């Protein structure tokens, strides 16, 4: 027996009930959410973003990028030409002053020394012969003078004896001069022979070797560099500061830097030199600023990149507000500390400033700048308040007077608001 098929008029109420059952909860939830938005009472503070006045440290710094170089280093070169026969050190070795670094083939220089010594021996032998001839000439001269006194010789013989003695003395002087010349040549040859042994001029670390064993070095064209030795116990940080910031630098100011692989460790230093001649790169004028930093553990290496911070001013354990909070207040003309004290009258404003300037580098009231902030008045509204500012940077500013720790200041408006009032949600 076949069942009767329901008609369309019977199925329609069933689907309508299902749709109503689904839409009813959605409509109730939407009404519950929309009622306070459109007809409920709004909190005036909902349109503001607040930041709490807190204590902390602040720094005004000039940032720059630099590289690390050894403060003391020397490029060890060859003073004589020849084949580099042996290199006795490797990169990374620690050497002392006078240690043997490399050797150049000394064959030619040893031969020159031997030749000069032999020539010097020959001249000294000639010197003894000339001295003997001079002695003989002087004896003959005295004999001729004695005979001339007895009128037993001729004047011509006496003159010949005198000339012979003078000639022997002159030849002796010439020979002595030749000996001095050869001795000087011998000293030069011996020095060149010593230069074939390249010794370390300072204590340090071998940081690079540019020559290769077996290479022929030619000092006649250009002094060849064999290796570089550096003292890595003290490093120099060379930074490039833009012309917009170099005027803020002062010799003796504190500085610190971090490295890429340093794990956030800070190395401290003091600015020692600002080079007056800039370098121009892509039409950007940069000045070199240098300072030294100890490196006892050897963690700092040559050519490391350093992110450098020169401390223009700083304050510790002071009240801080974000710079965005100052942007919310209306700018006012600065006034003297006396006028500010008269306005505060030693009341709430003076109490708020108590302790705000504690810490290193805190600005005095006489030298403080002024600004305006909007503060939560605790009664459901905000009030504008004038504050005295000290050290500031792009993120925060030190509050010397005008605020107390824990107060809330307006740091911005909630997204989607006009004049601090929330916009109504647009209807769909």
pLDDT at 403: 87
Low-confidence ranges of the chain (pLDDT < 70): 1-15, 17-19, 31-45, 328-368, 415-428
Integer Cα distance of 407 and 325 in angstroms: 12
Radius of gyration for the alpha carbons in the chain, expressed in angstroms and rounded: 47
Q: Which residues contact 56 (CB under 8 A, 6 or more apart)?
A: 317, 318, 320, 396
Tell me how far CA of residue 286 lies from CA of 61, 79, 283, in angstroms: 17, 38, 10
In contact, 210 and 50? CB cutoff 8 Å: no
In contact, 258 and 307? CB cutoff 8 Å: yes
pLDDT at 4: 53
Q: What's the angle, vertex CA 367, arms to CA 363 and CA 369, rounded to 5?
A: 90
Number of residues that make up the chain = 428
Q: Which pLDDT tens digit goes with each residue over 98-137?
A: 999 999 999 999 999 999 999 999 999 999 999 999 999 9
pLDDT at 183: 94
Beta strand 204-209 with 197-199: parallel, antiparallel or unpaired? unpaired
Q: Which pLDDT tens digit goes with each residue over 302-361?
A: 999 999 999 999 899 999 988 888 876 655 444 433 333 333 333 333 333 433 333 333
In contact, 374 and 383? CB cutoff 8 Å: yes
Integer Cα distance of 21 and 23 in angstroms: 6
pLDDT at 335: 40
83 φ/ψ angles, rounded to the nearest 5 degrees? -85, 130
């Amino acid at each position: 027996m076949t069942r009767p098929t329901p008609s369309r008029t019977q199925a329609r109420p069933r689907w309508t009930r299902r749709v109503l059952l689904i839409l009813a909860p959605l409509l109730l939830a939407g009404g519950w959410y929309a009622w306070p938005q459109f007809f409920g009472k709004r909190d005036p503070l909902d349109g503001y973003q607040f930041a709490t006045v807190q204590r902390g440290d602040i720094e005004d710094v000039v940032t720059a990028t630099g590289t690390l170089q050894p403060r003391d280093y020397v490029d060890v070169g060859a003073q004589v030409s020849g084949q580099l026969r042996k290199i006795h050190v490797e990169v990374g070795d620690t050497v002392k002053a006078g240690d043997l670094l490399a050797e150049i083939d000394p064959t030619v220089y040893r031969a020159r020394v031997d030749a000069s010594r032999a020539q010097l021996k020959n001249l000294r032998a000639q010197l003894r012969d000339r001295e003997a001839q001079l002695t003989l000439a002087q004896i003959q001269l005295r004999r001729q003078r004695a005979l001339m006194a007895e009128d037993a010789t001729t004047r011509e013989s006496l003159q010949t004896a005198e000339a012979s003695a003078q000639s022997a003395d002159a030849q002796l002087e010439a020979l002595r001069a030749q000996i001095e010349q050869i001795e000087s040549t011998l000293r030069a040859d011996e020095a060149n022979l010593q230069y074939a042994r390249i010794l370390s001029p300072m204590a340090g670390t071998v940081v690079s070797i540019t020559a290769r064993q077996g290479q022929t070095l030619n000092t006649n064209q250009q002094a060849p560099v064999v290796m570089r030795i550096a003292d890595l116990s003290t490093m120099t940080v060379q930074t490039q500061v833009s012309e917009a910031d170099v005027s803020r630098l002062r010799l003796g100011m504190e500085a610190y830097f971090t490295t890429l692989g340093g794990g956030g460790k800070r190395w401290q230093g003091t600015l020692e030199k600002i080079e007056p001649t800039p370098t121009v790169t892509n039409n950007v004028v940069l000045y070199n600023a240098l300072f030294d930093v100890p490196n006892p553990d050897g963690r700092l290496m040559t050519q490391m990149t350093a992110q450098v911070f020169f401390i223009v001013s700083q304050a510790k354990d002071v009240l801080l507000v974000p710079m965005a909070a100052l942007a919310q207040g209306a700018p006012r003309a600065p006034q003297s500390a006396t006028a500010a004290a008269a306005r505060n009258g030693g009341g709430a404003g003076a109490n708020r400033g108590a302790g705000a300037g504690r810490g290193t580098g805190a600005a005095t009231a006489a030298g403080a700048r002024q600004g305006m902030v909007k503060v939560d008045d605790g009664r459901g509204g905000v009030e504008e308040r004038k504050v005295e500012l000290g050290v500031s940077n792009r993120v925060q500013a030190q509050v010397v007077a005008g605020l107390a720790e824990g107060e809330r200041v307006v740091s911005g408006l909630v997204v989607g608001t006009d004049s601090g009032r929330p916009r109504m949600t647009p209807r769909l």
